[in-house]
Structure 1
């Protein structure tokens, strides 16, 4: 069996930036075990698989360790592959996922994704969190999926050197660290060691948590964010109440064939 494979740098306008995702279009679902093995072999933060179901696409995402219920950059990469390589021409891509129905539209070379807005509750900043991050945040929150640490300035976020063993023991899937930005409205870094991703380069789904928070904190609904990983990536954000929009570009790094 041969499967097409596309590796795409999402939230990037040139290769070696943004967040790399593998995209594998399918005609029918493979077994969960086989998709997990392919994702582990790719060894990227996410591998996306999709199949067409009439007017929409079913989409699933796997890290090297397990399946996840929402992923931003691999959704962007999947839409990019449909438009760039698979002759998709409709104005909007509709994805059915374990995280709900998602919509992606394209304007010129920018892809805009409609995602859920996730709420937060403030929790106490503990010594356990400070030790894991190597710095004490000003505020700490627990979201619907992720924990979020808020720092006073961008330099603190950029200078973090976490203990990933300790981070993997914290609550939530992702450990989001964020602060107001200098050239951007806010900056962030996201750590997901429990999923085999010490630091995720650009995490679209983390903005489901950050966008509502910063919209309220900054008093604005349109924002530009930057994820300050070693690769880095810029995200245009819009807060819509119970939904958000996050947008960015994508570029092709590789096309290939998986032989099984």
Structure 2
């Protein structure tokens, strides 16, 4: 059996930037164990699998270690593959997922994710998070992920967390964020508990970052930058109970997996 795959750098206009994702468009679903093995073989932060069902495109996401309920950059990558490689003519692709209906729209030269809003709430344990990060935490919140607000963009960029301690937290991952110098806000995301020490650019974390910074800055449209080693720019819009996250995507490689 041969399966066609495409590797996309999401949230980047150039090669080797943003966040790489592997995308498989399947005729029918593979066994869950096999999809997990494929994701482990590619060893990228996410591998996405999409199948056209009667209700529309269903999407699933796997890290090298586990399936996850929501992933932004691999959804953006999947839409890019369906638009640019498989010739989807519509300006919008609707996905069915574990996190409900999602969509990606081509607009203004960008691909726009339409994701559910996650409102972060205050959390206890600031001292423990400060110890594992080695920096001062201004505010600690949580939604689907733990969110630590730091004093400055420099603190975010220089943060070197204790990954062993971080993996023991009762959260899938930890976001660190601060106001940006050239962007409204910056962030980084660490998730060793699910096999990702640091994710290069994470669309889904902006489901809670966007409402937080929208309140702090009193604006509904924000520019964001995830300042990992690869780095990536995101454009965020708060629209009611939804978050729109815009970005570019770039095809890097295509090939076949032989099973």
Maintained 8 Å contact 1:147/1:171? no
How many aligned residue pairs are there? 259
Counterpart for residue 114 of structure 1 = 114
Displacement of 1:125 in angstroms is 4.3
Counterpart for residue 168 of structure 1 = 167
Instruction: Map 1:49-68; keep pairs closer than 5 Å.
Output: 49-54=49-54, 56-68=56-68
Q: Equivalents in 1 of 2:219, 2:112: separation in Å?
A: 19
TM-superposition CA deviations, 1:76-135 (whole Å, max 9, x none): 000000011001111210000001100111125410010000012112343221121121
Counterpart for residue 156 of structure 2 = 157
Q: Equivalents in 2 of 1:55, 1:84: separation in Å?
A: 22
Instruction: Map 1:1-260; keep pairs closer than 5 Å.
Output: 1-54=1-54, 56-107=56-107, 109-143=109-143, 145-260=144-259
List alignment gaps of at least 5 residues for structure 1: none
- When the two chains are superposed, the root-mean-square deviation of aligned CA atoms in Å is 1.0
Q: Which secondary structure state, in structure 1, belongs to the residue aligned with residue 94 of structure 2?
A: strand
Q: Equivalents in 1 of 2:255, 2:53: separation in Å?
A: 24
Maintained 8 Å contact 2:126/2:139? no
Length-normalised TM-score, structure 1: 0.98
Q: Equivalents in 2 of 1:15, 1:121: separation in Å?
A: 37
Displacement of 1:55 in angstroms is 5.8
Displacement of 1:136 in angstroms is 2.2
Length-normalised TM-score, structure 2: 0.98
Q: Which runs of at least 4 in structure 1 moved beyond 3 Å after TM superposition?
A: none
List alignment gaps of at least 5 residues for structure 2: none
